[in-house]
């Protein structure tokens, strides 16, 4: 098997794949469409980050791809449905930078409460502004988390360890961590907390969901953070609330439009306002997160190729599979198919016709695709031919 890793993916990924027996080629940059199509000839597994686009044309012309690893969080750069239709499993790293985002949020809450950016900038200008006015401890303060998913719930745990009282609101019914208090509505949270931090996901319905009405409901002189998605907040309204003093400070890491490249110019209505911390979408950008992304995604690619495991795949039905018992003797058939009634019965009747003994079998479906994995004691070539010839078959792999 051959793997191509683009965009300077962490070396952990290369070593995991090499250990699993892959021949690995690495490149530092992203490739455009024609270059990528060329580079993918003879490649089984490709690893990319956010700058390489895997379009329907790339998938059509790439030939023999088995899996794609997105060594990042987002997968917008990949034609996921097309990949699924061609039986190409895609994996990403949804949790690898959770802790990094949480730590930045905590640092920013303390920095805003102590007005650190103002003190820092005064002293750099030679002004010794030693005074305690407007500087606060965070101990005992009420933190309001909007969106209690991977990041929100981990922030809840770390914030409690620092003595904050945690309140949260989530549209889903989430388990409260530690002593965190669930609010029944966003309004209840806004009226209670002194620091509001957004960690909602990027679903379309969240566009502009936090604006003038929500800022007005926040307690006077509270702090506001957004490290989720830029388009969920009305930043003009945040600016007005900062200038009027209703909001005492803000930390913003994500923006509705962000420069594509490092060094490009950037503009925001929040620039130049005191006690406002602006960061260039670096919440999850740490060396530790990159290392974990390399480990996590390479592990998923290896497990898919070696065992057929699709756990946490973003486009195929999920199956968690153990290594085949009695390795070396039997074989594992992974059969990705169009999800129509009777496919499992057909697979099993083909195996029965050829006298194949089934040792174990698992099935799962996702939208238009079904995935059945069957461990067998022996497998004649004729059975493989018949399974491959089924009109519903998208991809058949024999492992072992
Ligand atoms: N700044 C960064 O560098 C960085 C890094 C990683 C993730 N993120 C962003 O952080 C956000 C959270 O990531 P996550 O991994 O915790 O996601 P997640 O999917 O685990 O959690 C999101 C939570 O928000 C809830 N939610 C969605 N809409 C809501 C609404 N309108 N009101 C209340 N709750 C709502 C969901 O039910 C879910 O529990 C995402 O938008 C992600 O893109 C940013």
For residue range 352-374, what is the model confidence (pLDDT) as tens digits? Answer: 999 999 999 999 999 999 999 99
Reported pTM: 0.86
- pLDDT number for residue 63: 80
Tell me, yes or no, if 295 is annotated catalytic: no
Cβ-based neighbour number of residue 343 at 10 Å: 20
pLDDT tier, 326 (very low <50, low <70, confident <90, very high otherwise) = low
Q: Is the pLDDT of residue 329 over 80?
A: no
Mean pLDDT in residue range 327-348? 91
Mutate to test the pocket of ligand 1, among 95, 184, 201 (most ligand atoms within 8 A of CB): 201
Tell me, yes or no, if 14 is annotated catalytic: no
Q: Is the pLDDT of residue 166 over 70?
A: yes
Cα gap 239→343, rounded to integer Å: 58
- pLDDT number for residue 76: 85
Atom of ligand 1 nearest to the CA of 172: 37
Mean pLDDT in residue range 101-106? 98
Tell me, yes or no, if 258 is annotated catalytic: yes
Mean pLDDT in residue range 224-242? 97
- pLDDT number for residue 400: 84
pLDDT tier, 330 (very low <50, low <70, confident <90, very high otherwise) = confident
Residue position matching structure tokens 């024999």: 398
Nearest protein CA to atom 10 of ligand 1, as residue: 228
For residue range 385-396, what is the model confidence (pLDDT) as tens digits? Answer: 999 999 999 999
**Nearest 5°: CA angle at 139, between 244 and 105?**
65
For residue range 213-228, what is the model confidence (pLDDT) as tens digits? Answer: 999 999 999 999 999 9
For residue range 22-58, what is the model confidence (pLDDT) as tens digits? Answer: 999 999 989 999 999 999 999 999 999 988 999 999 9
Q: Which of 10, 99, 229, 354 is catalytic?
A: 229
Q: Is the pLDDT of residue 261 over 90?
A: no
- pLDDT number for residue 325: 66
Q: Is the pLDDT of residue 375 over 80?
A: yes
Q: Which of 258, 288, 323, 329 is catalytic?
A: 258
Mean pLDDT in residue range 65-69? 97
Q: Is the pLDDT of residue 328 over 80?
A: no
Cα gap 97→74, rounded to integer Å: 12
pLDDT averaged over every residue in the chain: 95
């Amino acid at each position: 098997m051959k793997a191509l890793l683009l965009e300077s993916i962490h070396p952990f990924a290369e070593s995991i794949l090499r250990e699993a027996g892959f021949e690995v080629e690495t490149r530092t940059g992203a490739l455009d469409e024609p270059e990528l199509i060329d580079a993918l000839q003879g490649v089984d597994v490709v690893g990319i980050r956010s700058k390489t686009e895997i379009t329907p044309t790339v998938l059509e012309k790439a030939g023999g791809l088995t899996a794609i690893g997105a060594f990042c969080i987002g997968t917008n750069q990949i034609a996921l449905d097309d990949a699924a239709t061609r039986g190409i499993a895609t994996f990403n790293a949804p949790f690898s930078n959770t802790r990094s985002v949480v730590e930045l949020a905590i640092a920013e809450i303390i920095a805003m409460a102590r007005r650190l950016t103002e003190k820092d900038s005064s002293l750099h200008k030679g002004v010794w502004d030693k005074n305690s006015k407007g500087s606060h401890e965070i101990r005992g303060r009420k933190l309001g988390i909007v969106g209690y998913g991977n990041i929100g719930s981990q922030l809840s745990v770390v914030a409690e360890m620092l003595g904050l009282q945690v309140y949260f609101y989530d549209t889903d019914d989430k388990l409260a961590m530690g002593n965190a208090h669930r609010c029944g509505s966003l309004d209840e949270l806004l009226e209670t907390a002194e620091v509001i931090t957004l960690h909602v996901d990027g679903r379309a319905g969240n566009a502009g969901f936090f604006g003038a009405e929500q800022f007005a409901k926040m307690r006077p002189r509270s702090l506001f953070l957004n490290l989720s998605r830029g388009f969920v907040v009305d930043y003009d309204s945040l600016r007005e609330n900062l200038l009027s003093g209703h909001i005492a400070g803000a930390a913003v890491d994500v923006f509705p439009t962000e420069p594509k490249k490092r060094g490009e110019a950037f503009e925001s209505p929040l620039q130049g306002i005191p006690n406002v911390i602006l960061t260039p979408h670096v919440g999850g950008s740490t060396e530790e997160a990159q290392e974990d992304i390399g480990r996590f995604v390479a592990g998923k690619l290896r497990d898919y190729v070696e065992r057929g495991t699709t756990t946490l795949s973003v486009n195929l039905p999920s199956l968690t599979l153990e290594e085949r018992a009695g390795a070396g003797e039997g074989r594992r058939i992974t059969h990705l198919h169009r999800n129509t009634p009777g496919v499992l019965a057909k697979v099993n009747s083909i195996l029965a016709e050829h006298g194949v003994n089934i040792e174990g079998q698992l099935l799962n479906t996702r939208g238009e695709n079904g995935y059945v994995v069957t461990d067998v004691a022996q497998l004649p070539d004729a059975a493989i031919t018949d399974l491959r010839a089924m009109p519903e078959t998208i991809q058949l792999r024999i492992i072992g």
